Amino acid sequence: MLYFLPTLIIYPFNVVTQILNLMFWASLIIITGLIKLIIPYAPARHALTRLMNLYLSGFGKGCFWLLSLTNRLEWDIKIDGQLHKDGWYLIMANHLSWLDIMLLADFCSGRIPAPKFFIKQELIWMPFVGLGAWAMDMPFMKRYSSEFIAKHPHLKGKDIDTTRKACEKFRDIPTTMVNFVEGTRYSESKLKRRPSPFKHLMPPKAGGVAFTLATMGELFSNVLDITIAFPDNPGKIMHQALLGKLRRVVLDVKVMPVDSSMVGDYFNDDEFRQQFQGWLNQNWIQKDALLTSIKQG
């Protein structure tokens, strides 16, 4: 291993190898996606989709294999329940770093179908990332402020329409949908600007989760409540990983059944909306307590 190397060498080594890893797998995904675009036969398109899912898993595994060369990684993965490779899953996770995406891609590999992420609209212009996400039919979300919606009411619910269209594409092949429920990466500075009742989490956004469950609820095998933590690395996680200072990686996975209480008309049924928000907030209270325990332990 390369732990003995100075930071002056480790940092550029990690930056270059991570970029090469991204370019390699994203190029395969983009090329396969373009081939899929011109093929009219559904069975062939499904086969290419499965191939691209393998590429995404390779990207996640490659990322952490490369990081393991320069970081003394200690893995702590706990799974409360059974997982299957041919099921449909909805992941609800907290969000700390860009590294979360690679971490979940690595976690899903060999356990459950490859993950599909809701991507910020701005990332479509990011080299390799934008085209790769497009090729894999990942939904691009554009967030609007309440003030902007007030001036442009026709855009209200646009992100929900994007969610609906994405869910329709994922009904044919076992898929894992990932929702970073906070809608943004957690940081102490954001917590100061946007008050939260939680110590280690931003407030959860219920609408996207509820709509995904309403659209695909009958398909989902389970909801996976995943808690991500890097307890020995407060601050900018990705930066510390590139410096070779990433240590403990914690994934706590709670496998939950999908029942009728999770599925309903979130936008038109006031009673269901309040009940769903209460359920999600209760999960977030438990997640916050778990993060406190992990950081203390």
Give one word for 238, left, alpha or beta, with left for phi > 0 and alpha for psi -120 to 50.
alpha
C-alpha–C-alpha distance, residues 135 and 28, integer Å: 10
CA distance 86 to 4: 42
178-208: b (≥16 Cβ within 10 Å) or e: bbbbbbebbeeeebeeeebebebbbbbbbbb
Determine the average pLDDT of the residues in 125-152. 73
Dump pLDDT digits (tens) for 62-82.
Answer: 999 999 999 999 999 999 999
Q: What is the pLDDT of residues 9-52, one digit of tens each?
A: 999 999 999 999 999 999 999 999 999 999 989 899 999 999 99
| Strand pairing class (89-93; 176-180) | parallel
pLDDT digits (tens, 9 = 90+) for 80-98: 999 999 889 999 999 999 8
Task: Tell me what percent of the residues of the chain surpass a pLDDT of 90.
Answer: 59
Model pLDDT, residue 155: 43
What pLDDT does 113 receive?
93
Spatial separation of the C-alpha atoms in residues 210 and 173, rounded to whole Å: 21
Q: What is the dihedral of CA 130, 133, 137, 143, to 10 degrees?
A: -60
pLDDT of residue 152: 45
pLDDT digits (tens, 9 = 90+) for 191-204: 677 777 888 898 99
Confidence (pLDDT) at 170: 79
The radius of gyration of the chain's CA atoms, rounded to the nearest angstrom, is 19
Contacts of 234 (CB under 8 A, 6+ apart): none
The two three-digit tokens of residue 132, written as one number: 């790769």
pLDDT band at 149 (very low <50, low <70, confident <90, very high): very low
- Domain edges within the chain: 73-296
Return the structure tokens found at 217. 């609820």
Q: What is the pTM of this model?
A: 0.89
Structure confidence at residue 290 (pLDDT): 96
Compute the mean pLDDT over every residue in the chain, rounded to the nearest whole number: 87
Once rounded to an integer, what is the mean pLDDT over residues 179-201? Answer: 81
Which pairs with CB-CB distance under 8 Å and at least 24 residues apart come from 9-14? 10/70, 10/242, 10/243, 10/244, 11/242, 11/243, 11/244, 13/70, 14/66, 14/67, 14/70, 14/241, 14/242, 14/243, 14/244
The pairing of beta strand 176-180 with beta strand 115-117 = parallel
Q: What's the CATH code, domain 73-296?
A: 3.40.1130
- What pLDDT is attached to residue 216? 80
pLDDT-derived band at 148, boundaries 50, 70, 90: very low
pLDDT of residue 90: 94
pLDDT band at 154 (very low <50, low <70, confident <90, very high): very low
Cα separation, 147 vs 45, whole angstroms: 42
